[in-house]
Amino acid sequence: MAKMEVKTSLLDDMIGVGDMVLLEPLNEDSFINNLKKRFDHNEVYTYIGSVVISINPYRSLPIYTPEKVEEYRNRNFYELSPHIFALADEAYRSLRDQDKDQCILITGESGAGKTEASKLVMSYVAAVCGKGAEVNQVKEQLLQSNPVLEAFGNAKTARNDNSSRFGKYMDIEFDFKGDPLGGVISNYLLEKSRVVKQPRGERNFHIFYQILSGASEEFLCKLKLERDFSRYNYLGLDSARVNGVDDASNFRTVRNAMQIVGFMDHETQSVFEVVAAVLKLGNIKFKPESRANGLDESKIKDKNELKEICELTGIDQSVLERAFSFRTVEAKQEKVSTTLNVAQAYYARDALAKNLYSRLFSWLVTRINESIKAQTKVRKKVMGVLDIYGFEIFEDNSFEQFIINYCNEKLQQIFIELTLKEEQEEYIREGIEWTHIEYFNNAIICDLIENNQTGILAMLDEECLRPGTVTDDTFLEKLNQVCATHQHFESRMSKCSRFLNDTSLPHSCFRIQHYAGKVMYQVEGFVDKNNDLLYRDLSQAMWKANHSLIKALFPEGNPAKINLKRPPTAGSQFKASVATLMKNLQNKNPNYIRCIKPNEKKAADIFNEALVCHQIRYLGLLENVRVRRAGYAFRQAYEPCLERYKMLCRQTWPHWRGPARAGVEVLFNELRIPEEEFSFGRSKIFIRNPRTLFKLEDLRKQRLEDLATLIGKIYRGWKCRTRFLLMKRSQIVIASWYRRYAQQKRYQKIKSSAITVQSYIRGWKARKLLRELKHLKRCNEAATVIAAYWHGTQVRREYRKFFRANAGRKIYEFTLQRIMQKYFLEMKNKMPSLSPIDKTWPARPYLFLDSTHRELKRIFHLWRCKKYRDQFTDQQKLIYEEKLEASELFKDKKALYPASVGQPFQGAYLEISENPKYKKLTDAVDEKIIIAEVVNKINRANGKAASRIFLLTKNNVLLADQKSGTIKSEVPLGDVTKVSMSSQNDGFFAVHLKEGSEAASKGDFLLSSNHLIEMATKLYRTTLSQTKQKLNIEISDEFLVQFKQEKVCVKFIQGSQKNGNIPTCKRKNNRLLEVAVP
């Protein structure tokens, strides 16, 4: 029954020990066995107080779902099973509710799951903070910055397929509500040496393989790349493909992430061009040449690669080629140019590739910061997430491992300091006496490395800057002189006699006793890697590029800003960055995630105890537990403590009415726990020994079983009583319903019988009445029939003689009526179609129906014409009215008329309003234009024609010049008296004007048009509408036209013309114009 209890503490159903502070006995073996037991049951998280130990399961577990997020949201840290979400929630709530800036420090060696842990923390915070379009955009940008930085800063190593080769610290900024506003990312020590060389079984940075696998052929062509990995010397081929990693899909993810973060298309293109240039730099090869002065010189073997690099970066090929062959040294006012041999040329090439990629990565971080930085100026709360390299101990440890381990020494130092500080503050806050805790202080190791006078980094910088011959061996000699007596420094060359017998230490190495163990470093490459020199000629060549991004990456190449001061060394830069980081972390409330790798095979369900033991030692986890247990191993607020253990005391069970502290005191006194095993703080109970806590848990477990038995007994009794009472109530209800049913059934039976008897009686009475009524009706009908027959006999006797005289006429009328009915019925079935032009009509069946037949035909034709007219719109009616008018005026009179019947009357043949040439004419005419057409005006002097625009409005007839649109003549409709035309197939017509009118001063108009019928009809109808007088239309082959004071006869004759079918006009004499019509 205890399994049914709601989980309210990590102590419930605990596999092993969820908090290592409670582990008994505490030693290295029990620590490892506890981790293994939990790991075997898929419990990958364990606490050390508020520190989370995370073991990489190397497989997906169903413990990161949205349901899990909600389960850990706003819950006490120790309320549920250990989980990274509990730490993230605790940090977020402290930031939001208590206004404390937070930092989450994630440490562990490569492959332990640090990067995934940082992603989980960020995804949890993104899930539990506020919602909204702007907030969601900020969260999405913060989350999508990870794929970009992983592509450019992560690589496959022997221990991890997605190893971060740089340190990352992200400050996420929140407003007062706890909603994210933006973030700032800091990066530390990118492993740029990986660009030019990778250990066996490892890869270069992911982005190189992603471009070659996922980019389209067109995009690769733009970058001048080929898809084959073997074409590039900087890419290791033995691990080019990684199982379970889809580089093509990851490339698409990176491009999408860059777009979401805010990279412009041209910026993305520039970034990939720089990556392509770095990749192609590795293909440049050099050959030795001897100069006349005896000096060795290097030349590029194949300049094709150099040409493509210059095309990508916009650098003059000759400038870059010279930078690979010569080195210019400036000292005050002097410049000395020296040639580079092949080894120096390869060094310069690799240095350029490393610097180019390293600066590109730093630019990416800066560009991402510009996009994700908070836009508001209000005060912000900050949560920092530190994902940085763990302590590294390899077979061959060089400069990179040295500064990485230095960083971890500083993190261990701040971890111990802040943990002790947190313990001490809590004891003081709760009023518990603080006792000094003995622990190893690694400040002496940090001082050995970072001391400004005698530190290893200071010695390295001094050796790099001094004149003369500087080698790694001289650096080691200097260390032997300065650090020989230091208890954490060992060297074979040391003059201290206690090391002379240590033959396991090579001559070119030194060893440091770190907090995590001894690490041997090979001094080879220390000086060069610390110098990190890039020849000034290469910097200047990069600055001269026509590529905006590359130019921005090398500002020191600007000749106007030449600085002869030596740039800071890599070691001093990293030391300054670590100091800034430590200062930042000390101002925040720390939260720790210690990541552990269970095996070297990256396989699930394998727990290598030796490997885990090694990591436990250098992470200092046992020492962390001892620090937490030096005082009191367990502490808990009074309220949850009383709530958890109140069933162990009769006075506190089931409810305690007083203060929680008083209840806990009563509880502990009742259980007779020794006073030295616990102390009462202001708000918490402190338990010194884990055995005391486990004793309480055992008592609670036993009591819960007793309570479960009691609850089961009470529940069964309650259930039986409830069932009995339910059955009793049910029996009463059933009995009452049955009695009601029986009485209703009896009543219905009596009611049915009464109705049946009543129906029979009413039926008998009705039948008796029906018989009497039928007898009376038959008597009345018999008398009526007898009387009717008698009267009929009398009438027939009286009128027989008259019937015989009129029989013929009656038969005739009846026969005629039947014939008419048959005629109309037949006509109904033989009716023609409703088309008005259909001339068919059924034949007349009888001669006497001739007039009726014709009249019926006429009526039917009129009816179907009306039906046809009813279908017309107003516009169609107007058109047909005009056509009808034209028919009445010209049918059988004008030979041109039949050709015009099928042509629609359009009126506006010129689009005057849309032609800018006629704007003056449009402005002058403010009336509606009924017809607008080009006509030919006949000259009375020679019979030749001139083009004019003929306009007809409601009140006027206008003639205008066709070219300019100028109005030549304007005649009111009232001044038009007659229109004359021939009966032949021509378009000539004369417009006669009223004598004495102003318009008639120049005489009548003789015109020619292709639409004569339409123009004459519209002129006729418009004149009739305006003047209420019919316009005289004269059709004659000879008529007179008034030209000023003269009258000229216009005569139409038949004849063949040279111009084909076009009529021509010719002046015969002063009184005759002859028109020849073909």
Report the catalytic residues: 110-111, 115, 160, 163-164, 390, 392
CA–CA distance, 523 with 478 (Å, rounded to integer):
12
Buried b (16+ CB within 10 A) or exposed e, 680-706: bbeebbbbbbbebbeebbeebeebeee
Adjacent-strand bridge partners of 1077: 1054
CA–CA distance, 648 with 670 (Å, rounded to integer):
9
Greatest CA span in the chain, whole angstroms?
179
Phi-psi region of 327 (alpha: psi -120 to 50; beta: other; left: phi over 0): beta
CA–CA distance, 644 with 667 (Å, rounded to integer):
11
> Which structure tokens are listed for 160?
């991890």
Q: Is the dihedral of CA 861, 867, 868, 874 positive or negative?
A: positive
Q: Running DSSP on this structure, what letter comes out for residue 7?
A: P
Asked if residues 378 and 175 have their Cβ atoms less than 8 Å apart, the reply is yes
Q: Is 511 helix (H, G, I), strand (E, B) or coil?
A: strand
Query: Residue 207 contacts by C-beta under 8 Å, 6 or more apart in sequence?
Result: 151, 152, 254, 275
Radius of gyration for the alpha carbons in the chain, expressed in angstroms and rounded: 57
Query: Residue 203 contacts by C-beta under 8 Å, 6 or more apart in sequence?
Result: 155, 156, 209, 235, 236, 239, 240, 242
CA–CA distance, 595 with 615 (Å, rounded to integer):
9
- The bridge status of strand 102-107 relative to strand 589-596 is parallel
Report phi then psi at 197, rounded to 5.
-155, 135
Is the bond leading into 690 cis (omega within 30 degrees of zero)?
Answer: no
Q: How buried is 294 (Cβ within 10 angstroms: 0-12 exposed, 13-18 middle, 19+ buried)?
A: exposed
Helix (H) / strand (E) containing 705: helix 690-805
The residue behind tokens 């790099």 is 464
Angle 342-372/317-325 helices, nearest 10 degrees? Answer: 120
Hey, what's the torsion of the CAs at 210, 214, 215, 218, to 10 degrees?
150
CA–CA distance, 670 with 909 (Å, rounded to integer):
117
Q: How buried is 305 (Cβ within 10 angstroms: 0-12 exposed, 13-18 middle, 19+ buried)?
A: middle
CA–CA distance, 167 with 928 (Å, rounded to integer):
85
Is the bond leading into 25 cis (omega within 30 degrees of zero)?
Answer: yes
Provide, for the chain, the percentages of residues in helix, strand and coil under a 3-state DSSP scheme, each rounded to the nearest 5: 50, 15, 30
CA–CA distance, 268 with 254 (Å, rounded to integer):
10
Edge-to-edge order in the sheet of strand 634-637: 634-637, 684-687, 678-680
Distance of CA 1041 to the CA centre of its chain: 84
Instruction: For residue 689, give the nearest of 730, 732, 767, 629 by alpha carbon.
Output: 629
Instruction: For residue 223, give the nearest of 142, 149, 311, 121 by alpha carbon.
Output: 311
